[in-house]
Structure 1
């Protein structure tokens, strides 16, 4: 696969978008064969709201199953968190799941939600602060896959990472190990990390979870193009693209794509791009692991497994990792 260098992409963009990371990444991804784009760009305000709707769908088992594990195992998880610790959530979204931990962590010093969607992050942090007035809440607007600085006020405190939702499955396995090492470098020696990991299971369950009957997941996927229209002066016709999602057993992942319904041209940030009939944009992977498989992956990144909790049906797992 040939990748056009970013400096060459920047030269093609209309002047207002030359330093726009979304424009650079999207155009670079759409020039590739096959076309692809990072799922991190799903989560503008509209995309974040659509994802919250997905989590409530009957077909989408991960959220309710992970919540069930956190509720059932909250005391055991809390026992692994030192007094006076700081909980750092990578990709916090609405911070719904973290409430299950905060209720069991009365000695927690602070909570640091980190999310790329600044407006959504601030509103979620304000709602959380209203419900936990005694807790220090220090939101950080950042791409959690890139280096960022933790608030100076938490220096010297034991740090515990929180990465729920099986977001780790959106990374290629090698990149997941890189991210876990990156999180370890931010949290530092002696840190712990709580990670939600989706498990390998029947393909029918997986396919339904990523292609619901109400079309909410399709709207979430298509919002990526709508966001490009809003932010990058793109002219995607949403009806000209179809949502496709399926489990790929050889790769142990669910794939999401946007398929062009016809041959067409689209402009993005001043760049004209061609799509063939049925050509797809690969928008997301969601890798599924066995408990042992994820423990081995975490070990590659310098984390040791302290505990793993699953539901009775073995649909989902929550791992407690520690760093030397």
Structure 2
């Protein structure tokens, strides 16, 4: 086998640091030795033996996944990629991937990173000959490998492999920081990261996995003491003074490996590198930690990837559901979905991620004058409208001039929203107030230059104000303009999926669509008892001079809070699917298909479903929520002898049926809807209600944006709640209300039904 070895070590620095780390760890009251001491040449050989033990289920579980899914995983790896494995080991598992790549005839370079040169050679030599896979061994630490990969060309696609649940050897915060470092330093948008993670399994199963009856694991751990003597080149430790001790900490979800001191002993470290002689006294039964093996719940995996700003591609578990491989990728932008995402005033970092999303969508447009939705302006308007709205509000707040060219404010301030049943831009009764429509739009480069100047204007605002002490009135401007742009990201996407000329998003992994063979269980009817709930919240725009910045902001139709009594009702546990709506069409005379579908052969009821990646077959999207107009939802409900929920009913259901094990598909977790769950609160699409958007006691239209809600109190708009796959997490707050015309067919909005009382 032809391969090469590259020495990427920073030897002297790492050896001195390791010696200091050992002494410092043993000098603490809670003693520890760095895990790296376990992995000398002999230690790696011992660990390889461990991976063949039946008790050590992790390796066989990972092999089980790869035997069944290697081809599937390699489908995502582009030709010409570099594959970098962190801690490659014996390559028994990796060989399954390399063979699959070879079978697919993809030219890749595989980099095996490991600590020991001899072990690298032993692993690479017996692999056999490849025609398409080039093999390179990297001799060094994780840090060395990161530095090496950081120097790859920016346009080079990379796939990072981190298998064997090596993530478990790091503290949870350390693991998060490590994943974040990989994402920041190595990965470009579109690069892949495959991570193997052990679950929080049965404690007895975990315990015996690290304490086998043949004591192979014990010998692996005890060899670390021999390695310490080799590191210092001194006979510091006598193994007979210690024994292997292990336990599983179920509360933390962590297996713990220790050296237990048999009798009082003193360790003597001779002077080295200008360090004086060191003596460390150890007491009988004292424990010295050498290794942790963290196990992960689904929530903990999500938190790990969230911190690393990585998006899921797919995940696979072994046949016994003990272990998972998670294929993730670095997206072109990432919206934080944790508690911090709901703070009202956005940070400048959040703005910059939002701008990345807007720019990503702009780059998907191949013809800026296309008008894929007749009720909307062409794309060019929205490219100018988003920065213009920001600029207008900043200028008005600071009593300054608009950004040049100032006339952009007159043509880009507000778009059209005609009555879709009788559109007439010249009749104010049939179209909301809107900006002047020019005979010719400005050219794209001029608009993009204007956009960049407006962004710099906003950055200057943040530079000039401490975010913790800025006036609440300015905080409202920043919040309002941020949410405005976030909402337009979604409306821009409505247009893109309707446009046959649009390109897929750059830097996003294109799904490998496969038919959904799973039948979704019939939606259960969940009973909800009578109760009184609160809608909205108390955000008084006129009190911005006195209210604290910490209070949440909201649009005018969210305030003031109001009590509503909900009578008992029963509601479906999940939204209606594409498959269910297709069955409705097949069994009735109603042949009006949703605008989220594309007809292939309507006579045979053959339709495809629109996505940003192009149309997908109904067999793929059959279990996705159907995206449709409210009028279509009402016709479906009538056929099903059911009804749409009211706003307060749907809000009540969301409040009462939150599920910690369900991660809603919002904020570009995926770039498309996903299969419904048996009990699903929200995600993939907004949901229609039967509630008309209208005024209510206490409503007062906004002074800053008076037409935001009031212009749509026309009896033709209905409230929608929840959020879609393209909804920014900041908008997923309990009080937020969205709305659309009842017949508007393009919104990413689904429906779940209630039993008629």
Q: TM-score, normalised by structure 1?
A: 0.89
2:141 is the counterpart of 1:143? yes
Aligned to 2:325: 318
2:228 is the counterpart of 1:242? no
Unmatched runs of 5 consecutive residues or more in structure 1: 1-15
Describe the shift of the 1:23–1:103 C-alpha distance in structure 2 as closer, same or farther (beyond 3 A): same
Deviation (angstroms), 1:269: 4.7
Unmatched runs of 5 consecutive residues or more in structure 2: 1-11, 272-277, 332-757
Q: Please, which of 28, 31, 34 is the counterpart of residue 32 of structure 1?
A: 28
Aligned to 2:84: 88
- Secondary structure (helix, strand or coil) at the match of 1:112 reads strand
Is this contact kept in 2: 1:210–1:245, CA < 8 A? Answer: yes
For the aligned residue pairs, the C-alpha RMSD in angstroms reads: 2.1
Is 200-209 or 295-304 further displaced after alignment?
295-304
- Secondary structure (helix, strand or coil) at the match of 1:214 reads coil
Between the aligned partners of 1:316 and 1:18, the Cα distance in structure 2 is: 33
Is this contact kept in 2: 1:196–1:318, CA < 8 A? Answer: yes
Is this contact kept in 2: 1:82–1:158, CA < 8 A? Answer: yes
Between the aligned partners of 1:17 and 1:88, the Cα distance in structure 2 is: 24
The structure number with the bigger radius of gyration is 2
Describe the shift of the 1:286–1:301 C-alpha distance in structure 2 as closer, same or farther (beyond 3 A): same
Describe the shift of the 1:105–1:292 C-alpha distance in structure 2 as closer, same or farther (beyond 3 A): farther
Aligned to 2:261: 260
Q: Deviations over 1:139-161 (max 9, x none)?
A: 22221145421397877421000
2:64 is the counterpart of 1:64? no
Between the aligned partners of 2:96 and 2:185, the Cα distance in structure 1 is: 24
Between the aligned partners of 1:19 and 1:205, the Cα distance in structure 2 is: 36
Deviation (angstroms), 1:311: 1.6
Is 70-79 or 49-58 further displaced after alignment?
70-79
Between the aligned partners of 2:100 and 2:179, the Cα distance in structure 1 is: 25
Aligned to 1:282: 289
Deviation (angstroms), 1:295: 2.2
Between the aligned partners of 1:122 and 1:151, the Cα distance in structure 2 is: 24
Aligned to 2:693: none
Q: Please, which of 50, 54, 75 is the counterpart of residue 50 of structure 2?
A: 54
Deviation (angstroms), 1:276: 0.6
Taking the TM superposition and a 5 Å limit, the aligned residue runs for 1:1-324 are 20-106=16-102, 107-128=106-127, 130-132=128-130, 134-145=132-143, 147-150=146-149, 156-190=155-189, 191-232=191-232, 233-270=234-271, 271-324=278-331
Deviation (angstroms), 1:89: 0.1
Describe the shift of the 1:256–1:136 C-alpha distance in structure 2 as closer, same or farther (beyond 3 A): same
Q: Deviations over 1:273-301 (max 9, x none)?
A: 21111111101111111234202211111
Aligned to 2:755: none
Deviation (angstroms), 1:76: 1.6
Between the aligned partners of 1:19 and 1:162, the Cα distance in structure 2 is: 26
Describe the shift of the 1:41–1:97 C-alpha distance in structure 2 as closer, same or farther (beyond 3 A): same
Deviation (angstroms), 1:33: 1.7
Between the aligned partners of 1:238 and 1:80, the Cα distance in structure 2 is: 48
* Aligned length in residues: 308
Is 160-169 or 69-78 further displaced after alignment?
69-78
Deviation (angstroms), 1:134: 4.7
Is this contact kept in 1: 2:108–2:133, CA < 8 A? Answer: yes
Q: Deviations over 1:24-53 (max 9, x none)?
A: 111111111211122122111010000001
Between the aligned partners of 2:302 and 2:14, the Cα distance in structure 1 is: 41
Between the aligned partners of 2:246 and 2:14, the Cα distance in structure 1 is: 32
Is this contact kept in 2: 1:88–1:112, CA < 8 A? Answer: yes
Deviation (angstroms), 1:18: 11
Q: TM-score, normalised by structure 2?
A: 0.39
Structure scoring higher RCO (CA < 8 A, sep ≥ 6) equals 1
Between the aligned partners of 2:15 and 2:213, the Cα distance in structure 1 is: 39
Aligned to 1:11: none
Between the aligned partners of 1:139 and 1:154, the Cα distance in structure 2 is: 19
Is this contact kept in 1: 2:222–2:244, CA < 8 A? Answer: yes
Is this contact kept in 2: 1:145–1:182, CA < 8 A? Answer: no
Between the aligned partners of 2:101 and 2:228, the Cα distance in structure 1 is: 41
Between the aligned partners of 2:72 and 2:131, the Cα distance in structure 1 is: 25
Deviation (angstroms), 1:132: 2.9
Between the aligned partners of 2:216 and 2:65, the Cα distance in structure 1 is: 25
Aligned to 1:4: none
Describe the shift of the 1:117–1:21 C-alpha distance in structure 2 as closer, same or farther (beyond 3 A): farther
Deviation (angstroms), 1:19: 5.8
Aligned to 2:663: none
Deviation (angstroms), 1:126: 3.3
Between the aligned partners of 1:145 and 1:200, the Cα distance in structure 2 is: 28
Describe the shift of the 1:269–1:109 C-alpha distance in structure 2 as closer, same or farther (beyond 3 A): farther
- Secondary structure (helix, strand or coil) at the match of 1:125 reads helix
